[in-house]
Amino acid sequence: MPEPPAGRGRPAKLDPVDVIRRKRDGERLTDADIAAFIAAYMDGAVADEQAAALCMAVFFRGMDDGETAALTKALIASGRTADLAAIPGTKVDKHSTGGVGDKTSLVLLPLLAAAGFSVAKLSGRGLGHTGGTLDKLESIPGVRVDLPPARFLDQVRRIGIAIAGQGPDLVPADGRLYALRDVTATIESPALIAASVMSKKIAGGADAIVLDVKVGSGAFMKEVAQARDLARRMLAIGRSAGRRVAAVLSDMSQPLGHAVGNAVEVAEAVATLRGDGPPDLAELCLTLAEQVGADRARLRELLRSGAALDRLTAMVEAQGGEPGALDRLPRAPVQVEVAAPASGFVTGVDALAIGRAVADLGAGRRRKEDPVDPAVGVILHRKRGDAVRAGEPLATVLARRDGEGVAAVRAAYEIGAAPPAPLPLVLEVLTG
C-alpha cells in the first residue's frame, strides 16, 4: 500500500537527520515530524546534539504558526497536564516574558482572586538579570513553593489562589530543550520561545491567559516589532488550543516600580495591594486584569477595601508563611544611598544595568542551581522624567557589604539638562 501523504496524523518513521536537513534547507516540517522528533528525544533515540542542531535550524529558518502549534503540542505530550475541571469558575493564568522589578504576579493574581477568578499559577525562578516569582515568594519567612499537585489544587479550590513551582513532570521536554538552547545560543528564536512559554501555560490548564510581553533593554525583546511578533505567535498557539489569550506589550527600558530584588519587591507588591504602590505597577496590573474580563472600577474597589491584599495574605499562610510574615521581610544589613552626580532630569534608568547590579549583589543567579539572597536589592527613588539636584539620592542599595553595587547603580542612570519625552508604559494590547 502506498504511504499516506505527509501531514497531520501520519505516523512518522523518524529519520532525525532528515528532519534536521529539511529544516536546515528551509522546508516546512509536518506535525508528525515534530511529534516524532520530540518523542524520540525524550526516549533517547534522538541525541542532544541532534536536538540542538534542529533548534539552530529553527533559529535560522523559523517555523510557521502551524509548525509552532505542533511543537507546542509535542512538548505538552511529553508530560502530565493539570486538570482544573474540578475548580469552579474561570481559571486564569498569566505569563511575563521577564523583566527587572517585575513583581506583577504578586499584585495581579491576588487581585484577580479577589475578583472571583480561580488562580492556579505555576511560576519560575529568576535567571540572569531577570527576577522570578518563586524567589520573591520564598523571601517571605516560611513560604514554600513546592506544592504537590493535589495540595495545589485544593488550595485553589479553598482560597482561590496558589502560586507554585512547575515540578519536573509538567512539560519535561521543554525543561530539557531549554537547558540545551541555553548552552547552544538558540534561546532567541521567536518560534521556540512561543512554543516553550505556551506549552507550559496550556499544560497548566487555565481557560484564560494574559501575557505580559516586555520590551526594552531589560527584556528579551529589545524592539516593539520583535515583541509584537512573539505576542502574535503566542496568541495563535493559545487560540489553536482553545484558550482565551490576550497580550500586553509593556515597557521594560527602565525597571517596573521602585523596588528591585526579592523581599523588597514583595514589600512593594504589598504596598500596591494597599493602594499605596508606584503608579506604573498599579496601572500595568489593572491593564492586565482587564484583559481577562475584570472591570477596572471593581478592581480599584478590591484594592481599596483590602480584599486583594487579603488573598495574598491567605495564600502566604496556606503555603507555610508565619503569621505576620509580610510585615517581617528580610532586609540587608547595609543600606547606601547613591547620590546624583549632577542636577537635571533623569533621562533613563537602564533596566538591564540595574538587573545585573541587583543580580551581582546576590539577588539573582548565574546558574540554575545557585542560591539567591532574599534581602539584597535596590530601591529607585528617581525614575525617567524625574527632576534631581546634584547630591540628592537617586537610589538606595541594600547590600551585604559596604560599597557593593553603588557604582553599577550610578552608571545605570542617565541625567540630562531637559526632561525626556514621555514613554508609555503600555505600548500595545493584542487580543485573540
Catalytic residues: 95, 174, 181, 196, 200
Least CB distance to ligand URA at residue 241 (A): 16
Please say which residue, 126 or 160, places its beta carbon nearer to ligand URA. Answer: 126
CB of 171 to ligand URA, least distance (A): 9
Cβ proximity to ligand URA: between 187 and 334 the closer is 187
Sequence-separated contacts (24+) of 42-51 with Cβ below 8 Å = 42/78, 42/172, 42/173, 42/176, 45/14, 45/16, 46/14, 46/16, 48/180, 50/16, 50/17, 50/20, 51/176, 51/177, 51/180
Give me the residues paired with residue 24 across strands: none
- Closest CB to ligand URA among 161 and 197? 197
C-alpha cell at 22: 529539511
For residue 128, give the nearest of 56, 188, 213, 197 by alpha carbon.
188
Q: Looking at beta carbons only, is 187 or 224 nearer to ligand URA? A: 187
- Residue closer to ligand URA, measured from CB, 115 or 219: 219
Of the candidates 260, 276, 254, 263, which has an alpha carbon nearest to the alpha carbon of residue 396? 260
Query: Do residues 340 and 415 make contact, with C-beta atoms less than 8 angstroms apart?
Result: yes
Distance CA 363, CA 355 (A): 9
Shorter beta-carbon distance to ligand URA: residue 214 or 383: 214
CB of 199 to ligand URA, least distance (A): 9
Q: Which residues bind ligand URA (CB under 6 A)?
A: 178, 187, 192-193, 196-197
For ligand URA, which residue has the nearest CB? Answer: 196
CB 347 within 8 A of CB 414: yes
Cα 155 to Cα 148: distance, rounded to the nearest angstrom: 11
Residue closer to ligand URA by CB (options 196, 291) is: 196
Beta-carbon neighbour count of residue 381 at 10 Å?
Answer: 16
Minimum CB separation of residue 196 from ligand URA in Å reads 3
Closest approach of ligand URA to the CB of residue 72, in Å: 12
Residues whose CB is less than 8 angstroms from the CB of residue 365 and which lie 6 or more positions away in sequence, other chains included = 125, 126, 127, 359, 371, 372
DSSP string, 163-214: EEE--TTBSHHHHHHHHHHHTTT-S--HHHHHHHHHHHHHHTT-SEEEEEEE
Contacts with 409 (C-beta within 8 Å, 6 or more apart), sequence order: 338, 354, 357, 378, 394, 395, 397
Q: How far is the CB of 98 from ligand URA (least distance, A)?
A: 6
Helices and strands (H and E) in the chain: how many: 16, 13
CB of 282 to ligand URA, least distance (A): 25
